[in-house]
Structure 1
Amino acid sequence: MKRDLRDIAARFAFDAPVAGIESLGAGFINDTFRIRTAGAGPDYILQRKNREIFRDVPAMMENIRKVTEHIRRRVEAAGGDPEREAMRIVPTREGALCHTDDGGEYWTAAQFIEGAKSYDRADTPALARKGGEGIGRFQSQLSDFTEPLTPTIPGFHDIRHRFAQWDAALARDAAGRCGRVRAEIDRIEARRDEMLRYHRLTETGEIPVRVTHNDTKISNILFDDAGEVLCVIDLDTVMNSPALNDFGDAIRSYANTGAEDDPHTGRVGLSPEMFAAYAEGYLSVRARELTQAEIDRLAFSARYITCEQVLRFLMDYIDGDRYYKTAYDEHNLVRARAQYALLCDMERRYDDMCATIDRIARRYRER
């Protein structure tokens, strides 16, 4: 395997010879490696993109190229350092944005940002606030981006599309598991109409479509030694969608008192303190840029995205665990139950969540 990786790495236009390759992280979707180079040159990130998830990797990489080049221009215009405050895609030696190996797998590379820190979990309000600032800044940097983007995963946060997939999964019952999760299925069905009503606001244009990251967990933000945000990474899912999706997805991750796959659902709930901290950071950047319709529905976006994730984990379990990497047979079911516990607590705290958003947004809009 190491010999294969060295051969793949040699296809990219790195500035220095490869000295070593090591596995990096444990993502759900892609396989990621750090390329250590000889001499004073930078290191790099090498990644095998999951072609089962991303059906058009070249188009996805073109999205990333457009977005990162735009952000780099914005950073430079603001007097920042684009080599540290934005991703830099590294092409192949032939100038392509990805390499296809003999097995049809797609590989991509980016420059490693030396000295950058990342976190697996936001465990303090201060870090949650910085995460909110990071995603807010990312969206703001792309507020004037007008180039077309290809939907890398069509219907990604489109609950109408997800319910169509859900209905098909229930009908085929590929793994024969529907009978044992009837209560979990009913919980999704009880929320179908409410989620579709919310989604229709995007279809009618009441909630605008913008450029969004669509995977806003804290591990996708890099920080410097002083704890300030450098840049947002892992741009595979950058697409056009409501800005609310990024906020809701972040709250699902940052404000959860338990783990995403916590087997003890009693530990799972929404932390009001972490919710407020993330909202503070995000709205410090975005309060004046969002419409009132968006502000009014930021709190609900957390319920929307969490409900979607319950559906997706449960649907993958019913389908035989084909999408997400799992560590054991019931892993997706455990994930679905943990996310459902989080959703229920969000529903209980919803009025307070709305009041928090309103208070913070008003303060920043009045400055």
Structure 2
Amino acid sequence: MELSIDENILKAYGYNFETVALHQIGSGHINRTYLLSTHSDEKYILQNINTQVFKDPFAIANNIKLVADYLKLNFPDYLFPAPIAALNGELMFQYQNEYWRLLPFVQDTIAFDTLSDSKQAYEAAKQFGKLSRLLNNYDASTLKPTIPGFHDLAWRYEQFTFALSKSTTVFKEKAKQEIETALHHHFIIAYYRSYEHRQDFPNRVMHHDTKISNVLLKENNFEGVCVIDLDTLMPGKFISDLGDMMRTYLCAFSENEKDLSKINIRLDYFKATIKGYLFEMASTLTGTEKELVLFSGKYMIYMQALRFLTDYLNGSDYYPISYPEQNLDRAKNQFKLLSELFENEKTLQDIIEECLS
């Protein structure tokens, strides 16, 4: 694989092509990521920031620095893999309209693309919860949104209704059932708004992308080590992190699965996720937040279903597709997962109560 990296990027960190080896790694679809190995057997992660997604890369660098400084001062033993400064002192190196950063490589760890054991769900949820707990007293308002409106459900619904008003008759006819489902579940937004401005529903520093590949586990026993991929570290509600875990941990199949009979909630994974998160966060969450634990899954799953449906109605110009109806199928998949949450509500709430007690 040809690596399209200018040597000046390496020189910014004191290296060149003669002193390092580079290999592209990772399954992420946003940033380009490389393993940088020096001749003295040191390893680092070199990453190129996708400016189509992140319009202000220096906001990312500044957010991470502020949080890193706070954690270093208050929790010096906590492993927070913040970027390493370039020779010019900057945590983000800009060269020819590209933005690069160098990150520490955490030895003897592994990141999974999919969950194969409920223990992995427990350990991942525990790590994301730990980061939130340590930042409980940090003033989230000092951080800048790196993707404005990222988890704003009301705005995503507006995007959906606008796409619906502009879409073709063919698209709307094919998506008729999903459009009805999307409109029916508008009550989720109203329910959120009834809580939104409560004093005990605070903005916190949230990761906002808590899929399993964004946490490192020990290779030998899958014990949690640290959270990675901090680009979306910004202010938000706790539901962003916990809800995204529910969306991505509970079903054995991804949003690309077309056989909806396979889209079910694995109760052991649900319990492991809630137990891991609350192990760290139970003493920190407010009464209102504890009320909204299950709702967080409904909120995030509904939002992702809307985003897939919106993209389909727009002609699929955002999410990459391999066939024309893929985003419609993804929306169907997420609406089925949402229905599973409602149909199993009592069982799931009983598990939450058990974990809280």
Q: TM-score, normalised by structure 1?
A: 0.89
Deviation at 1:196, TM superposition (A): 2.9
Residue 257 of structure 1 aligns to a residue whose secondary structure is coil
- What's 2:66 paired with? 66
Change (3 A) 1:173 1:32: farther
Structure 2: distance between partners of 1:174 and 1:72: 54
Structure 1: distance between partners of 2:107 and 2:279: 28
Computed over aligned residues only, the root mean square deviation of the Cα atoms, in angstroms, reads 2.3
Structure 2: distance between partners of 1:196 and 1:157: 15
Structure 1, residues 312-356: CA drift from partner, whole Å, max 9, x if none?
112122223333333443332222221111111111011221121
Deviation at 1:175, TM superposition (A): 11
- What's 1:139 paired with? 132
Structure 1 residue 150 corresponds to structure 2 residue 151:
no
Structure 1 residue 177 corresponds to structure 2 residue 193:
no
Deviation at 1:14, TM superposition (A): 5.3
| Residue ranges of structure 2 left out of the alignment (5+ in a row) | none
Structure 1: distance between partners of 2:189 and 2:37: 46
Structure 1: distance between partners of 2:35 and 2:193: 39
**Contact persistence 1:174–1:320 (CA under 8 A):** no
Structure 1: distance between partners of 2:44 and 2:194: 42
Structure 1 residue 282 corresponds to structure 2 residue 277:
yes
- What's 2:50 paired with? 50
**Contact persistence 1:9–1:46 (CA under 8 A):** no
- What's 1:188 paired with? 182
Residue 309 of structure 1 aligns to a residue whose secondary structure is helix
Structure 2: distance between partners of 1:203 and 1:280: 27
- What's 2:327 paired with? 332
- Number of residues paired by the alignment? 354
**Contact persistence 2:278–2:355 (CA under 8 A):** yes
Structure 1: distance between partners of 2:189 and 2:263: 22
Show the 5 A alignment for 1:33-44: 33-41=34-42, 43-44=43-44
Q: Which amino acid aligns with 2:139?
A: T
Deviation at 1:94, TM superposition (A): 2.1
**Contact persistence 1:202–1:242 (CA under 8 A):** no
Structure 1 residue 32 corresponds to structure 2 residue 36:
no
Q: Which amino acid aligns with 1:108?
A: R
Deviation at 1:100, TM superposition (A): 3.1
**Contact persistence 1:11–1:99 (CA under 8 A):** no
Q: Which amino acid aligns with 1:140?
A: R
Show the 5 A alignment for 1:96-135: 96-102=90-96, 104-135=97-128
Change (3 A) 1:353 1:158: same
- What's 2:84 paired with? 90
Q: Which amino acid aligns with 2:147?
A: I
Give the fraction of aligned pairs with identical amino acids, expressed as a percent: 29
Moved more, 142-151 or 191-200: 191-200
Residue 231 of structure 1 aligns to a residue whose secondary structure is strand
Structure 2: distance between partners of 1:3 and 1:258: 33
Show the 5 A alignment for 1:294-313: 294-313=289-308
Change (3 A) 1:18 1:190: farther
Change (3 A) 1:259 1:356: same
Deviation at 1:259, TM superposition (A): 1.9
**Contact persistence 2:9–2:95 (CA under 8 A):** no
Residue 109 of structure 1 aligns to a residue whose secondary structure is strand
- What's 1:10 paired with? 10
Deviation at 1:50, TM superposition (A): 2.0
Structure 2: distance between partners of 1:354 and 1:138: 25
Residue 150 of structure 1 aligns to a residue whose secondary structure is coil
| Residue ranges of structure 1 left out of the alignment (5+ in a row) | 363-367
Change (3 A) 1:144 1:19: same
Residue 177 of structure 1 aligns to a residue whose secondary structure is helix
Structure 1, residues 270-302: CA drift from partner, whole Å, max 9, x if none?
111110111111111111111111111101110
Q: Which amino acid aligns with 1:161?
A: W
Change (3 A) 1:336 1:28: farther
Structure 1: distance between partners of 2:324 and 2:101: 31
Match of 1:347 among 330, 342, 346: 342
Match of 1:249 among 241, 244, 251: 244
Structure 2: distance between partners of 1:108 and 1:327: 31
Q: TM-score, normalised by structure 2?
A: 0.91
Deviation at 1:305, TM superposition (A): 0.5
Structure 1, residues 33-57: CA drift from partner, whole Å, max 9, x if none?
222222132x222222221221111
Residue 304 of structure 2 aligns to a residue whose secondary structure is helix
**Contact persistence 1:29–1:325 (CA under 8 A):** no
**Contact persistence 1:160–1:196 (CA under 8 A):** no
